[in-house]
Amino acid sequence: MRVDDARAIAGLATLESVWRDARRQSTARLIDAVRRGETLTITGFVAMFLLVVAAAILSTLIFVLARNVRRSVARLAEELAARARVERSEKLLAEVVEQSPATILITDTGGIIRYVNRRFEQASGWPREDVIGQTPKFLESGDTPRDDYKEIWRLLRNGDRWQGLFRNLRRDGSSFWVDTVILPLRGTDGVIHSYVGVGEDITDRREARDQVARAQKLEAVGLLAGGIAHDFNNILTTIIGSAHLAAEEAATGSEQAQDIAQISIAARRAKALVRQLLGFARRETSKSEPIKLYGAIGEAADLLRAAIAPTILIETPDDAPICVLADQTHLHQILINLGTNAAEAIGERPGSIRFSVDRPTDPPADLPDRPDGWVQLCVDDDGPGIPEVERQRVFDAFYTTKPLGKGSGLGLAVVQGLVQDMGGLVRIGTSPEGGARFCVLLPAAAAGSGQRAVPDAGVVPHGHGRLLLVDDRTEIAATFRRVLERLGYRVDAFTAPEIALKAFREKPDRVDLVISDVVMPGMSGTELVTEMRKLRPDLPVVLWTGFKRAALDLPGPAPAVLSKPVDPLDLARAVHEALLPAKQS
């Protein structure tokens, strides 16, 4: 077949151009695609890069954040621990302050109390609620002068501290001693914001010291009493002896006889007082025996009537057979001390003192049960009485409200000491008239067993014989020579033992009995008697001494020993008795 070439060629050309176009287009498309693919890849890469960068940043951020959070948590924990530590130490400090054995009081700069600790509450008796917001003025006892307070404030305001002693008042009105330091407290800025007072309660220590001082004072009194007792007893011996002589001269019942009786009673009281003072200071043992209480009261009342203002009436109870177990001198001392106090309380104006006795059916529980029970002796007066707060203090030794030289403050201390020695007790109260009432509970003794408080003066035994009397005190030797001569004896009195011994040696058989003082200069009574007994081994002897009786070392029969001041009656009896066996043999 013949194909039209032209048309074919034309068709081919068309085809070629179409193909070329298509190829061009496809190439372009390809190139475009390639181009687009590149862009895409780049975009992808960029995107991926960005993503990686973002991830890196994010992880860095997360890391940093995590680290910061960790640090913050650690810091927070540290801070919490520190705060807990501070709180613990603050609590500890607060406990130390609160439970401190020292009293602590904190005020602001205006002196207003902001804090007191427990010890302060205990020492002062004030609860903190009552004192916070107050100034410490309520503690002032008045002992510290105003100027001292001014000085304290001046020092504190200057930033200095003050140290010293305060006697502070307790809530109950009693007082306590505090050794105190007061200092300013400054804040971190250096400004004073409070004052703190730290005190040590030294009341017990001061009381112990006072007690020692009192004991020393008593010891001094004891020494003094011991020192003067000997001389005093010698003087009293003469007074009692002379009064005895004078009484014999005086007409019975005369005014003179009464005056002499008073001298005698007063001298015996002085004798008892000396013994009492010695006993009080040295706590000498007493001799308890049944004593008729009414007799003792009567005797004390007689003595008081003579000594006090006549405007004061002394009432004594009607006699009843009640006996107490007591030392005679001590019982007398109790009655006289209570009676004298009552009279002194009444003073110059009219008044009355009443002694009364009863047998309490229910004695205080702190007294032991006794088969014979207890006796209560009361002394009431219509004086001013004793305020409640002073009732314990009146028993303190040397406590007195009387002017210097009037009261020694020993009276009630002696009464209490003596009553306690007897096992009893003393009570203070108010009398029906509003004055003071002192009651002592004493151990009772079986009725009918009691002795008379004062020996019967009527039975002075007389005798005869030759006596040798030796005492270095001329007045004693002279007085008692006369006393003994009045009793019927012949007496050779000497003041020097050596001369007495010489006289004795000349005619040893002439002497029936020797009376001698024990302590004498040159030669003692025991030495003298020892020498005499070398010649007369059975020579009867009576010794007297102004000192505490010690065991006397003598050959032969034991002598009678009398204490100075010598009572003429005791001497008469002793001489009488000592001569009896000699007469019999």
Ligand X SMILES: Nc1ncnc2c1ncn2[C@@H]1O[C@H](COP(=O)(O)OP(=O)(O)OP(=O)(O)O)[C@@H](O)[C@H]1O
Q: Give contact residues for Mg ion (rule: CB under 5 A).
A: 341, 411
The one among 198, 336, 345, 445 contacting ligand X by CB under 6 A: 345
Stretch that binds ligand X, among 142-150, 164-172, 186-194, 338-346 (CB under 6 A): 338-346
Q: Does 376 bind ligand X (CB under 6 A)?
A: no
Asked whether the beta carbons of 475 and 450 are under 8 A apart, the reply is: no
Closest CA to 546 of 473, 455, 496: 473
Q: Which two tokens stand for residue 403?
A: 């002017």
Asked whether the beta carbons of 161 and 188 are under 8 A apart, the reply is: no
Nearer of residues 386 and 566 to ligand X, judged by Cβ: 386
Closest CA to 280 of 239, 333, 230: 333
User: What does DSSP assign to residue 364?
Assistant: -
The one among 105, 229, 236, 436 contacting ligand X by CB under 6 A: 436
484 binds, among ligand X, Mg ion, none (CB under 5 to 8 A by kind): none
Least distance (Å) from Mg ion to the CB of residue 294? 23
The one among 234, 328, 341, 352 contacting ligand X by CB under 6 A: 341
Nearer of residues 124 and 341 to Mg ion, judged by Cβ: 341
CA distances from 505 to 294, 496, 528 (A): 52, 14, 11
Q: Does 124 bind ligand X (CB under 6 A)?
A: no
Closest CA to 419 of 266, 211, 280: 280
Q: Does 381 bind ligand X (CB under 6 A)?
A: yes
Q: Which two tokens stand for residue 210?
A: 């006072």
Q: Does 413 bind ligand X (CB under 6 A)?
A: yes
Asked whether the beta carbons of 123 and 178 are under 8 A apart, the reply is: yes
Q: Print the binding letters for residues 280-319 with ligand X: x by CB under 6 A, - otherwise.
A: ----------------------------------------
Stretch that binds ligand X, among 26-34, 381-389, 545-553, 570-578 (CB under 6 A): 381-389
Least distance (Å) from Mg ion to the CB of residue 411? 3
Closest CA to 105 of 116, 114, 118: 116
Cα–Cα distance, 54 to 39 (Å, whole number):
21
Q: Does 399 bind ligand X (CB under 6 A)?
A: yes
279 binds, among Mg ion, ligand X, none (CB under 5 to 8 A by kind): none
Least distance (Å) from ligand X to the CB of residue 280? 11
476 binds, among Mg ion, ligand X, none (CB under 5 to 8 A by kind): none
Q: Does 221 bind ligand X (CB under 6 A)?
A: no
Asked whether the beta carbons of 382 and 433 are under 8 A apart, the reply is: yes
Q: Does 579 bind ligand X (CB under 6 A)?
A: no
Q: Does 409 bind ligand X (CB under 6 A)?
A: yes
Residues 6+ apart with CB under 8 A from 544: 237, 471, 515, 516, 517, 518, 561, 562, 563, 564, 566, 571
Nearer of residues 288 and 340 to ligand X, judged by Cβ: 340
Nearer of residues 411 and 463 to Mg ion, judged by Cβ: 411
The one among 273, 412, 483, 501 contacting ligand X by CB under 6 A: 412
Cα–Cα distance, 10 to 95 (Å, whole number):
122
413 binds, among Mg ion, ligand X, none (CB under 5 to 8 A by kind): ligand X
Cα–Cα distance, 516 to 501 (Å, whole number):
11
Q: Does 343 bind ligand X (CB under 6 A)?
A: no
Q: Count CB atoms within 10 A of the CB of residue 322.
A: 20
User: What does DSSP assign to residue 508?
Assistant: G
Residues at the interface with ligand X (CB under 6 A): 337, 341-342, 345, 381, 383-384, 386, 394, 399-402, 407-413, 436
